[in-house]
Each structure stands twice: as structure tokens, then as C-alpha cells.
A and B are shown apart, each in its own frame.
Chain A
Amino acid sequence: MNTFHEIITPILTVFGVLFVVLNLAAVLVWVERRLLAVWQDRYGPNRVGPFGLFQPLADTLKLLWKEDWIPPFADKPIFVLAPAIVMTTVLFSFAVIPVGEKIVIADLNVGLLYILAMSSMGVYSVVLGGWASDNKYSLLGGLRASAQMISYEVFMGLSLMGVVFVAGSFRLSDIIAWQNGHVWFVVPQFLGFVLFVIAGIAESRRLPFDLPESESELVAGFHSEYSGMKFGMFFAGEYMGVTLVSALIAVLFFGGWLGPVFGLTGWRATALGIVWLLMKTFFFIGFFILLRASLPRPRFDQLMSWGWKRMLPLALVNLLVTGAVVLAIGS
């Protein structure tokens, strides 16, 4: 029994998380198209299988059968490396997210910093992809991505420091434990929550912050030259990024796997906790898709001044007030 807990459980956790995240990325493509259709008064993809549910399968098969073309003028090693970086960094980030009570792949004591580090590594995929394509539209997209993501990373980190102040730890399971004893962080850290959501959208390059690939001006931005499964990896990486940010919002501000257990105990309560986390995550994924359906894209200078002139000062004020309150009350 002891060996079961020491060896089998971590392996099951690793493969479980990997399985759910990778399949979620595929299914989300269908979910997004259907939801967008609902909000725009259309049907969306509903031909392949019941409700169009097999659409992701058809899409994947199409991507696999397409010619995987590398432009002759591209920097080949970096061109191939770039889509792999986005997948790797996002999947690595999921390692520190607690999916249930005591179910986490690696419970690092610098967990939150680790996620920020992985997100700053993820920037390289977009920038290198844009640079290696040796195409002016790709390069512009890559440059935009680097400026946007570096700027929004700054206050993404700062907006989370309020949570760290109050919980007194970078460890994600400690942050959930604090919320278990007190309230969900969305109440005492509402400003931090709003700032983190905005930064999260910018970090995952979703509309309204998808300027790196804004198709109306830059063809497809940083991945203009990509085709086949390499494009598919950028595509899936974006959806996994959305899943990651949604899961982070759920864990940091909405109690993660906490929720009513209806008198259940043992593994049943744990399983219900995983369901709670999934439901919260799906809620925020839906919110991200709703934003895409409803908001226009800003100009790039508007995006930058919004980040540095509004978001950063607000994040600093949040930090100052939280620090003062923690100091006065004594945690």
C-alpha cells in the first residue's frame, strides 16, 4: 500500500494531468467555435458526429495530413524549435497546479515564481517563431509579442504578490489552505484578481490582446509561415495557455478544489474537489471566449500605455494597501 502511494499515485497524477490538458486543448477548439456561434446567432461546426463533437478529431487529422513546409529562407533549427517551446513551457507549468487535495505533481515552495518563470520562457516561442520565419509580418508579430508579453508580465507578477503577502507563501497548496481557513482570495484581493485576469489574457495572446497575430494587418503574425502540425502546436499551445490561466485564476482567487462536499469523505471528497476545480476552470475559459466574442482589438500603443500607465500603478497601489493592511493586522 505504501509503495502504491509513493510510486503509482505520482505516475497516475502526471499522466492524468497530461491526458486531460492535451485533450482539453483539442476539445476547446470545438467549444470555442460553438460558443462563438451561439453568441453570434449562428450554428457553428455541427456536421461531424453528434453536435459536431468529432470536429477536433477531423481538425487534427487534417493538420497531420497537411504538408509540413519549412520555408527555404527560414532559420530551420529555430523554426522547428519555436512551436516546441510553447508546448513545453505550458505543460511544465501544470506541474505545480494542485488538482485536488494532496494531488499535485510537484508541490514547489516557489510554485508561483516557477509559473512566472515558465511564462517568461514561453515568450521565446513566439518571438523566435516570428524571427526564424524571416518574413516581415512574422517579425513584426514577434516584436509585438515580446513587447506586449514582457510589459504585461511585470504587473502579472505584481498583481499576484498581494495573494502571496496574505497567504505568506509562494506554494500553491499553502495558498489554497489559507483560503480554506478564511475566504476565497477574490474577496480580499479583488483588484489583484482583475489585474491578473487582464494580464492573463495578454500573456495567452487572446483577443482583445492578440496583436502579435492580428490577421487584419499582419496576415497571421508570428505564425504566418507555419503549416501542418507545427502550426497545430502553436494553436494547441494557445488553448493550453488559456486553460493554464483559467486554472490559475481558479486556484489563486476561487479556492481551487475547495467547494461543498455534501458530506462525502475520503477519495469521494477528493474526486468531487477535482470536479469543482474543473468547473471553475471551465467557467473562466468560457469567460475568455466571451471576451473574444465581444471586445474589439486595441491599437498597439493603446495596449502599451494601458499596461504601463494604468495597470502597473494599480498593481503597485494594490501591493501597498495589502502590505499596509497585513502589517496592521499582523497577517
Chain B
Amino acid sequence: MEGLFYMAAVVAVGATLMMLTRQNAVHALLYLILSLLAVAVIFYLFGAPFAAALEVIVYAGAIMVLFVFVVMLLNLGPRAGGLEAAWLSPTVWLLPAIMAAILAGEIVYILSGPGLRTAPAGEIAPVQVGLALYGPYLIGVELASMLLLGALVGAHHLGREARSKPETKTHDVYSDVAGSDSGGDLVRAGSDRTSGAA
């Protein structure tokens, strides 16, 4: 069990490092997914299968949305890799490296000390998670759902405004003036000639 944990942990840390240093956004994203999957394995080993499954569904699965935005909005060409390389200069690494070193030092101190280690709680079944969420932590669940509802209403508002704009400008298919509209293929064939003859 401990061996499995260390394997998953090495994969998680390694994948996260690769994610940080990749110049191609999609490759970085794939490493991030790998890292999240490794964390899911760690959850499972700690006796939290429900958290492990949700980690995969919500985190590793929902990053897809992020991915779609990267592909759609950025239109990454071969130039983007070079740009990213310029951003990742050694000086940029200085501050994150110091902060990471502080955390690493704390972990070493905790592990070498007398121990704040608590015994593993055993396996937590999905039923127990549900009872905890809808029992003592009900208010948290409700607050989170209200936050999501707010986001949903906001997204609907934004989406509706964006959609009403193109609808007001209709394609003028039936006018006799050729090229009156940008949709060139919608102008009836030969309409320019008939208008000239008449």
C-alpha cells in the first residue's frame, strides 16, 4: 500500500513539474490531467473512493472546458511555443522557487519531528460522505449551490445578450442589388445580370 502511494506521489509531482515547464499549452494540460489522476489514486489509497471518483469526474473531466477555450480562443500556432519560452525566463522562476522551498522545508520539518501524524480513518463509504454533507455540513452545500445558481443566471444573461445581436442583422437574400450583403453565396445566381438588363 505504501509503495503504491509513493509511486502515485512521484507521478503526481513529476507530472506537475512537467505541466509547469511545458511550452505547448495542450501538452501542459495533459500533464495536469495526469497529475490529477495520480491524486485520485492517492485519495483511493487513503480510503476515500468517493473523493477519488469525484476528483476524476469533476477535476480531470471538467478541465476539458478549459481545453476547449484554449483551442478555440487562442488559436495557437508554432509561434506560441517561442513566446512561452520567452516568458519562462529563469528570473520568473525565482519567487515561486523560494515559496516552494519554504513549503518543502516545512514538510521535512514535520516529517522529521515527533509527528502530527494521525491514524488513517479507514475507508469512507459514499453513504458516509452523503450523510456528512447533508447533515452537519448542509449549510456549506446550500451556499455552494447558491453560488452556482448565481453563476448560472449570470451566464444565461451574458449568453442572451450575445445571441440577440446577430439576429437583428438579417441576410437580405431577396433584394435585387448584387453584393448588398456579405453573404455572397446567398445572392441569387444571375441577379446582377438581370438588374443590368432591366
Contact = CB atoms under 8 A, between A and B. Distances in A.
Contacts of B57: 113, 116-117, 120, 157
A128 B26 CA distance: 9
Given A113-B50, A150-B64, A150-B65, A78 B71 contact: no
Nearest to B76: A131
Nearest to B78: A73
Contact of B49 (A75, A110, A146, A169): A110
Interface in A142-160: 142-143, 146-147, 150, 153, 157
Nearest to B71: A131
Contacts of B9: none
Interface string A112-138: 011011001101100110010000000
Given A123-B64, A170-B126, A78 B26 contact: yes
A319 interface: no
B68 A147 contact: yes
A131 B29 CA distance: 13
Contacts of A201: none
Contacts of A124: 33, 64
Contacts of B87: none
A106 to B, nearest CB: 11
Interface in B1-51: 24, 26-27, 30, 33, 49-50
B68 A143 contact: yes
B121 to A, nearest CB: 16
Nearest to A132: B26
Query: Which size bracket describes the interface of B in this complex?
Result: 20 to 34
A121 B52 CA distance: 14
A128 B27 CA distance: 10
A9 interface: no
Contacts, number: 65
A124 B67 CA distance: 10
Contacts of B56: 117, 120-121
A19 to B, nearest CB: 27
Given A117-B57, A146-B67, A131 B26 contact: yes
A146 B30 contact: no
Nearest to A118: B56
Interface string A84-115: 00000000000000000000000011100110
Given A116-B57, A127-B64, A109 B30 contact: no
Given A109-B126, A131-B26, A143-B72, A117 B61 contact: yes
Contact of B61 (A114, A120, A128, A170): A120
Contacts of A251: none
A139 B76 CA distance: 13
A75 B29 CA distance: 14
10 contacts: A110-B49, A110-B50, A114-B53, A121-B56, A127-B67, A127-B68, A128-B30, A131-B71, A143-B68, A146-B67
Interface of A: 75, 77-78, 108-110, 113-114, 116-117, 120-121, 123-124, 127-128, 131, 139, 142-143, 146-147, 150, 153, 157, 168-170
Interface of B: 24, 26-27, 30, 33, 49-50, 52-54, 56-57, 60-62, 64-65, 67-68, 71-72, 125-127
